[in-house]
């Protein structure tokens, strides 16, 4: 009879690696949030297929605000990535600046998005397209705002020097959520702005 | 000892529940006395029991609703209830049972048992665990506030539009249903997330994924399933609420798509059927072999069948919509998958039969419930298989045949295993055995009452009795059948009453159980009964799937180490292990008891209360307060090793 032995190496304590409880739960949360957007876009494509040409507004989607806004959101992700690297390296200014710039760009995205909403000829209750457009982009806005609510304290905590090498899991967890919000926007953008040009309008 | 520690080689101690080490751990993990202590507890055993008790209360309430409306359809032309009262009662019955009983009861068992069976000290996120419980409780209260003020949902539990749309249902009835479901959905999703992380990340060292107890396979599978399925129903209800209150165009004709509701609802609804049965049948797969004195036949096949059932469960939702005029190709595909899903279910059934056949069964009450379950499992499976065929479904849809099927599935596959599991794990929860004599009466009343009550529904369905009618005329050949159905349901209720009596009596006078009354094989039976707040005084190391049976089974040359292990006593600590091999990965700092879960759940409920009456200041105020609570909750603490000192 041999009793198994267990290795007794040094074990890190707490939320240290990017594989800890918080990181895992954020991945699980992202899976469920991604599913939410899949169902939202299912509704969009379902209407597009079921109602043939009927549901669309008169004009095609315009890229005047949406395209630059997409770029802004992408750049914010780069900034947050830069901040996360700062956390790994233990460079506090880099970390704070990255998170802070990500936050500011996120706020700019939200502001421009409000103007984008105001410029639309349809409204939430003018017809199915309006309902879908505003609920889908509204859900995305909700997630951006949630991401901003994460980035703001993360910036503050970074500035206070809470995090550094070996103690930067919250930064990575916040960052991966922000990248997710970004990735979802690309899918939403493709669905709402590009597919009409690819012939979805004609069923 | 200090917060500045970045890493440590844990020491090894000997397992002794009467040592100073145990006392130290007890002081660290114990819930403080008093009301505040009770409200802020994050102990998974405490929360699991709260889940179980609350769910049983919902079961009783839902059961009483059924007993009342059964009286209305016991004989023809009865006038006990008005049609509106009848509608509200059967809707509340369905909603309460399917949403506020069937899943939360399994969550309760899982929350109590999972950390014990995988050999850890708590759920991965103990405060989140408390939060999901409070939110579940408040969502149920929210629904029943609607009931109390006469605005109960009245459109059946699956709530089809356009009847659930505002022009046809102008009160707040459906809004109460929609918003309480969104609250419950948040709770369910977060609870599932917690299980996924706990089961993948906190198993005892050596409990590699192929040694995961079959009990945990059920919970793990449906928790992952929930992550994908829950957003669908939450979204469906949200869009319905938008349609009703903000005049959007998702469902309501002529511009909206009523069938979109059915798609979104059943894309969640059918996986949900498996969500509320797989953990229950996993409890059978775990406990039945112990009562048959042998390991489960076909562990790997049963584990894979569990996962496969869940996966296929995502591809059958259209069989709830066969009668809605969908294209033939879609009907064929979904009919085929619906019939295919019988195969993994049958794998489990044959595994149980094989286990009983080749084992030496102990015929106690728990065994009777499990054996009875197998009988109704097959009947419910066969009636499901029948309605999976399109032409049969066209004939039977919306008749009592479907009502019979759903009750065989939900009572048969959920309540019977839950009853058996209650008898089986009650000694672990309270240290006392339930009374066997009363247990037999309990089983036979429930088993006979169930079959007398629900089997005839197949026949009334075949005779063409539609579901959800509040009365029926004389002379249609339905009089006797409905009378028998009502009698059966009352016998069934008496059976459940005997269970409650048994629990009350056994808590006072029950025989002491000791740590392992069934001579079982898994880790939860190595702790005292009831387990101490810290569960394991030292963390066990596993070499096989059945650590307590190793000397008898001799399946492996290696033996588990239950006698010594990491005490992890530098504060509230637990061990994180790798996902597949369960090798030690990190020492986790676990949070203290906290009032934040309760306060945040209250804030969120206040927000939803504001939404239903459109009291926007209340919505904004609770949002702000909730965010502050979250900030306090998540503020990095050096003690939890979330920040630098």
Could A7 and B631 be called an inter-chain contact, meaning their C-beta atoms sit closer than 8 Å?
no
Q: Give residue-wise pLDDT tens across range B500-553.
A: 999 999 999 999 999 999 999 999 999 999 999 999 999 999 999 999 999 898
The full 3-state SS of B221-286, as one line of letters, equals HHHHHHHHHHHHHHHHHHHHHHHHHHCCCCCCCCCCCHHHHHHHHHHHHHHHHHHCCHHHHHHHHH
Q: What are phi and psi of B409, to 5 degrees?
A: -70, -50
SS3 for B146? helix
Q: What is the mean pLDDT of chain B?
A: 95
- Residues in A closer than 8 angstroms to B588, CB to CB, are 14, 20-21
Whether residue B3 has pLDDT greater than 90? no
User: CA of A156 to nearest chain B CA: how many angstroms apart?
Assistant: 11
| Contacting A residues, span 45-84, partner chain B, CB-CB under 8 Å | 46-47, 50-51, 55
**Are B233 and B268 spatial neighbours (Cβ–Cβ below 8 Å)?**
yes
d(CA B277, CA B219): 10
d(CA B547, CA B523): 7
Whether residue A16 has pLDDT greater than 80? no
pLDDT for position B549: 95
**Are B137 and B107 spatial neighbours (Cβ–Cβ below 8 Å)?**
no
Interchain CB contact of B558 with A (< 8 Å): yes
Sign (positive or negative) of CA dihedral B426, B65, B279, B236: negative
Interchain CB contact of B553 with A (< 8 Å): no
Using CB atoms, which residue from B6, B259, B557 is nearest to A13? B6
Whether residue B498 has pLDDT greater than 70? yes
Could B242 and A164 be called an inter-chain contact, meaning their C-beta atoms sit closer than 8 Å?
no
Can you list the positions of beta strands (E) in B512-630? 539-541, 558-559, 561-566, 573-577, 584-589
Using CB atoms, which residue from A20, A130, A164 is nearest to B586? A20
Confidence of residue A192 (pLDDT cuts 50, 70, 90): very high
Question: What does the buried/exposed string (b/e) look like for B535-566 if buried means 16 or more CB atoms within 10 Å of the residue's CB?
Answer: bbbbbbbbbbbbbbbbeeeeeeebbbbbebbb
User: CA of B396 to nearest chain A CA: how many angstroms apart?
Assistant: 28
Looking at residue B99, what DSSP letter applies?
Answer: I
- Residues in B closer than 8 angstroms to A169, CB to CB, are 642
Interchain CB contact of B7 with A (< 8 Å): yes
pLDDT for position A17: 64
pLDDT for position A18: 60
Q: Give residue-wise pLDDT tens across range B106-146.
A: 999 999 999 999 999 999 999 999 999 999 999 999 999 99
Mean pLDDT of the region B232-247:
97
Please give the share of chain B, as a percent, with pLDDT higher than 70. 99
Using CB atoms, which residue from B197, B231, B560 is nearest to A28? B197
**Are B470 and B72 spatial neighbours (Cβ–Cβ below 8 Å)?**
yes
| A165, closest residue in chain B (CA to CA) | B644
Could B228 and A128 be called an inter-chain contact, meaning their C-beta atoms sit closer than 8 Å?
no
Mean pLDDT of the region B413-437:
97
SS3 for B545? coil
Mutual angle of helices B214-246 and B258-275, in 10-degree steps: 160
Can you read off the two tokens belonging to residue B108? Answer: 């309760």
Half-sphere exposure (Cβ direction) of A107: Cα atoms closer than 13 Å: 9
**Residue B590 CB neighbour total at 10 angstroms:** 23
ipTM: 0.96
Which segments of B415-542 does DSSP mark as H helices, in order? 416-430, 436-462, 479-509
pLDDT for position A203: 54
Mutual angle of helices B416-430 and B436-462, in 10-degree steps: 160
- Residues in A closer than 8 angstroms to B589, CB to CB, are 13-15
| B544, closest residue in chain A (CA to CA) | A4
Interchain CB contact of B564 with A (< 8 Å): no
Dihedral (C-alpha) B344, B348, B353, B355: value to the nearest 10 degrees?
A: 140
Interchain CB contact of B560 with A (< 8 Å): yes
Can you read off the two tokens belonging to residue A175? Answer: 């960052």
Whether residue B199 has pLDDT greater than 90? yes
d(CA B632, CA B634): 6
Dihedral (C-alpha) A35, A38, A43, A46: value to the nearest 10 degrees?
A: -130
Burial classification of residue A1, based on how many CB atoms lie within 10 Å of its CB (0-12 exposed, 13-18 middle, 19 or more buried): exposed
Q: Give residue-wise pLDDT tens across range B314-368.
A: 999 999 999 998 999 999 999 999 999 999 999 999 999 999 999 999 999 999 9
Interchain CB contact of B141 with A (< 8 Å): no
d(CA B505, CA B497): 12
d(CA B405, CA B395): 14
Mutual angle of helices B173-201 and B596-613, in 10-degree steps: 150
- Residues in A closer than 8 angstroms to B208, CB to CB, are none
Using CB atoms, which residue from B7, B234, B631 is nearest to A12? B7
Mean pLDDT of the region B267-290:
96
**B162 cis-preceded (ω within 30 degrees of 0):** yes
d(CA B64, CA B93): 8
| Contacting A residues, span 152-191, partner chain B, CB-CB under 8 Å | 153, 157, 161-164, 166-167, 169-170
**Are B543 and B560 spatial neighbours (Cβ–Cβ below 8 Å)?**
yes
Q: Give residue-wise pLDDT tens across range A26-76.
A: 999 999 999 999 999 999 999 998 876 678 888 899 999 999 999 999 999
Q: What are phi and psi of A86, to 5 degrees?
A: -60, -40
∠B638-B34-B103 over CA atoms, to 5°?
80
pLDDT for position B1: 41
pTM of the predicted structure, to 2 decimals: 0.96
Could B642 and A170 be called an inter-chain contact, meaning their C-beta atoms sit closer than 8 Å?
yes
Q: Give residue-wise pLDDT tens across range A117-154.
A: 999 999 999 999 999 999 999 999 999 999 999 999 99
Whether residue B10 has pLDDT greater than 50? yes
d(CA B591, CA B63): 38
Burial classification of residue B181, based on how many CB atoms lie within 10 Å of its CB (0-12 exposed, 13-18 middle, 19 or more buried): buried
**Are A188 and A38 spatial neighbours (Cβ–Cβ below 8 Å)?**
no
* Backbone Cα Rg of chain A: 21
Q: Give residue-wise pLDDT tens across range B141-176.
A: 999 999 999 999 999 999 999 999 999 999 999 999
Please give the share of chain B, as a percent, with pLDDT higher than 90. 94
**Residue B413 CB neighbour total at 10 angstroms:** 25
Can you read off the two tokens belonging to residue B376? Answer: 């109704």
How are beta strands B584-589 and B13-14 bridged, if at all?
A: unpaired
- Residues in B closer than 8 angstroms to A41, CB to CB, are none
Could B561 and A5 be called an inter-chain contact, meaning their C-beta atoms sit closer than 8 Å?
yes
pLDDT for position A59: 87
Dihedral (C-alpha) B562, B568, B572, B577: value to the nearest 10 degrees?
A: -70
Using CB atoms, which residue from A14, A28, A124 is nearest to B196? A28
| Contacting B residues, span 488-547, partner chain A, CB-CB under 8 Å | 541-543
Residue B262, C-beta contacts closer than 8 angstroms, at least 6 positions apart: B160, B320, B321, B324
Using CB atoms, which residue from B205, B561, B641 is nearest to A15? B641
| Contacting A residues, span 130-149, partner chain B, CB-CB under 8 Å | 130-132, 135, 149
Interchain CB contact of A93 with B (< 8 Å): no
Choose the mutation target among B120, B233, B238, B586 for the interface with A, i.e. most A CBs under 10 Å: B586
d(CA B529, CA B429): 7
- Residues in B closer than 8 angstroms to A43, CB to CB, are 235, 239, 250, 260, 264
Question: What does the buried/exposed string (b/e) look like for B433-458 if buried means 16 or more CB atoms within 10 Å of the residue's CB?
Answer: bbbeebbebbbbbbbebbbbbbbbbb
pLDDT for position A58: 86
**Are B297 and B354 spatial neighbours (Cβ–Cβ below 8 Å)?**
yes
Measured in residues, chain A has a length of 203
Using CB atoms, which residue from A29, A128, A157 is nearest to B636? A157
Sign (positive or negative) of CA dihedral B396, B401, B406, B409: negative
């Amino acid at each position: 009879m041999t009793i198994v032995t267990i290795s007794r190496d040094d074990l890190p304590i707490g939320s240290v690696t990017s594989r800890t409880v918080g990181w895992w739960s954020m991945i699980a949360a992202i899976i469920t949030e991604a599913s939410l957007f899949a169902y939202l876009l299912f509704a969009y494509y379902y209407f597009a297929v079921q109602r043939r040409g009927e549901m669309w507004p008169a004009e095609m989607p315009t890229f005047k605000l949406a395209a630059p806004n997409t770029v802004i959101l992408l750049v914010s992700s780069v900034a947050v990535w830069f901040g996360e690297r700062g956390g790994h390296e233990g460079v506090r200014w880099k970390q704070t600046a990255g998170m802070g710039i990500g936050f500011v760009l996120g706020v700019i995205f939200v502001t421009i998005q409000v103007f984008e909403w105001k410029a639309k000829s349809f409204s939430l209750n003018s017809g199915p397209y309006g309902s879908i457009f505003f609920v889908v982009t509204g859900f995305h806005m909700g997630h951006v705002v949630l991401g901003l609510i994460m980035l703001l304290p993360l910036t503050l905590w970074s500035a206070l020097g809470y995090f550094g090498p070996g103690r930067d899991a919250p930064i990575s967890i916040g960052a991966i959520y922000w990248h997710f919000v970004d990735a979802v926007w690309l899918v939403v953008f493709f669905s709402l702005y590009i597919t009409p040009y690819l012939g979805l309008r004609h069923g | 000892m200090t917060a500045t520690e970045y890493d440590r080689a844990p020491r090894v101690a000997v397992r002794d529940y009467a040592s100073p080490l145990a006392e130290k751990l007890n002081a660290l993990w114990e819930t403080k006395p008093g009301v505040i202590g009770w409200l802020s507890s994050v102990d998974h055993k405490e929360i699991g029991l709260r889940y179980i008790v609350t769910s049983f209360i919902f079961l009783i309430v839902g059961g009483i609703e059924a007993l009342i409306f059964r009286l209305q359809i016991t004989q023809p032309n009865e006038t006990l209830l008005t049609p509106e009262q009848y509608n509200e009662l059967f809707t509340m019955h369905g909603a309460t049972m399917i949403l506020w009983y069937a899943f939360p009861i399994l969550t309760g068992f899982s929350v109590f048992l999972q950390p014990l069976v995988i050999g850890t000290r708590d759920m991965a996120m103990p405060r989140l665990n408390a939060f999901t419980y409070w939110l579940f409780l408040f969502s149920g209260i929210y629904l029943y506030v609607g009931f109390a003020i006469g605005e109960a949902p009245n459109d059946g539990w699956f709530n089809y539009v356009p009847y659930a749309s505002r022009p046809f249902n102008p009160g707040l009835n459906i809004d109460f249903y929609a918003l309480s479901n969104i609250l419950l959905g948040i709770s369910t999703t977060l609870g599932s997330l917690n299980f996924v992380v706990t089961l993948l990340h906190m198993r005892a060292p050596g409990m590699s994924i192929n040694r995961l107890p079959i009990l945990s396979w059920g919970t793990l599978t449906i928790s992952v399933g929930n992550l994908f399925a829950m957003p669908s129903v939450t979204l469906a209800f949200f869009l319905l609420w938008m349609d009703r209150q903000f005049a959007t165009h998702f469902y309501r004709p002529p511009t909206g798509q009523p069938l979109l509701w059915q798609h979104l609802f059943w894309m969640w609804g059918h996986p949900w059927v498996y969500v509320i049965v797989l953990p229950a049948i996993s409890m059978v797969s775990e406990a039945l072999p112990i009562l048959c004195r042998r390991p489960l036949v076909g562990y790997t096949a049963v584990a894979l069948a569990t996962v496969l059932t869940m996966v296929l469960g995502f591809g059958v939702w259209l069989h709830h919509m066969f009668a809605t005029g969908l294209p033939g190709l879609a009907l064929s595909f979904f009919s085929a998958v619906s019939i295919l899903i019988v195969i993994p279910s049958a794998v489990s059934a044959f595994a149980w039969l094989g286990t009983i056949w080749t084992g030496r069964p102990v015929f106690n009450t728990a065994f009777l419930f499990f054996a009875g379950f197998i009988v109704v499992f097959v009947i419910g499976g066969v009636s499901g298989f029948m309605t999976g065929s399109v032409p049969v479904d066209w004939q039977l849809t919306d008749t009592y045949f479907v009502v019979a099927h759903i009750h065989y599935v939900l009572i048969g596959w959920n309540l019977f295993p839950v009853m058996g599991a209650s008898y089986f794990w009650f000694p672990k929860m309270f240290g006392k055995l339930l009374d066997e004599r009363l247990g037999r009466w309990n089983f036979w009343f429930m088993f006979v009452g169930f079959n007398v009550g629900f089997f005839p529904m197949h026949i009334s369905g075949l005779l063409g009795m539609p579901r959800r009618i509040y009365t029926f005329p004389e002379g249609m050949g339905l009089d006797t059948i409905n009378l028998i159905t009502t009698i059966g349901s009352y016998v069934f209720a008496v059976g459940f009453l005997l269970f409650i009596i048994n629990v009350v009596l056994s808590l006072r006078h029950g025989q002491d159980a000791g740590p392992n009354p069934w001579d079982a094989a898994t880790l939860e039976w190595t702790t005292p009964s009831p387990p101490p707040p810290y569960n394991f005084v030292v963390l066990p190391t596993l070499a096989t799937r059945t650590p307590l049976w190793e000397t008898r089974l001799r399946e492996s040359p290696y033996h588990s180490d239950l006698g010594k292990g990491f005490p992890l006593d530098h504060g509230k600590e637990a061990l994180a292990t790798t996902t597949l091999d369960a090798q030690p990965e990190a020492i986790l700092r676990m949070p203290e008891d906290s009032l934040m879960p309760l306060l945040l759940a209250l804030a969120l409920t206040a927000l939803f209360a504001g939404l239903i009456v459109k009291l926007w200041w209340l919505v904004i105020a609770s949002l702000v307060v909730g965010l502050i609570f979250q900030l306090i909750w998540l503020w990095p603490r050096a003690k939890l090793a979330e920040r630098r000192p």
